[in-house]
Structure 1
Amino acid sequence: MTELDAQGLWLHRKHQALKQVFGAAPEAVEHARQHVYSTLKILVAHLQEAGDYLLGANFSAADILLVHCLDWASAIKWLPTPEITGEVEAVLTAYHMRCCQRPAYQRSVEQRNAKM
């Protein structure tokens, strides 16, 4: 899971959003984007077997990290994408919505928005 964050999304941050500091690396960013998509497909396959959350019926820290990554990918316009469609997209969307409906998630969004 941390590879999704560190090897995918952070590379975008480093070489796209902060390119003036770290230098632009469009090939690395594109590779990172593809890595995110392939990792999400693997995670969706796992979710289809596990149940509502990554560890089955129980929400965990792993879910918090994945939702963070999904939110980040959406913020940088990597999601939604034509590269993730059909059942994979449906499972991922349902999972994300299920997690975002949790009261703690909603409180965290409210707190973040209040600071902005």
Structure 2
Amino acid sequence: MSEPAATEIDLNAAFQSAIAHHQAGRLSQAEMLYRVVLQAMPNHPDANHNLGVIAMQLGQLDQALPLLHTALVNHLGHGRFWLSYIDALLRANRADEARQWLEQGQRGGLAGPEV
């Protein structure tokens, strides 16, 4: 197997392991593994999003916002990314920005009971 393919498999394994740790509440282990993925792939939408969610869970909004923003702008079609970013903006008392992002999302088709 070539080196790039092995690296891709390793990153996928790290990401899947991070999700398992995250779901089990082992946030420090999940955070470490998400960061491994982001070192190799800084714009990985799911790793950015999930690491941002952990930061929100820990009350670290200053760290969560750029991660969630990166996830959103790299995968605008994912409604959960919109909702997480808007939620983080609201928690950070940035209601005007949250409103702007919500309106932009709705223009792009963001809908549903959560919206």
- Normalised by the length of structure 1, the TM-score is 0.33
TM-score normalized with structure 2 length: 0.33
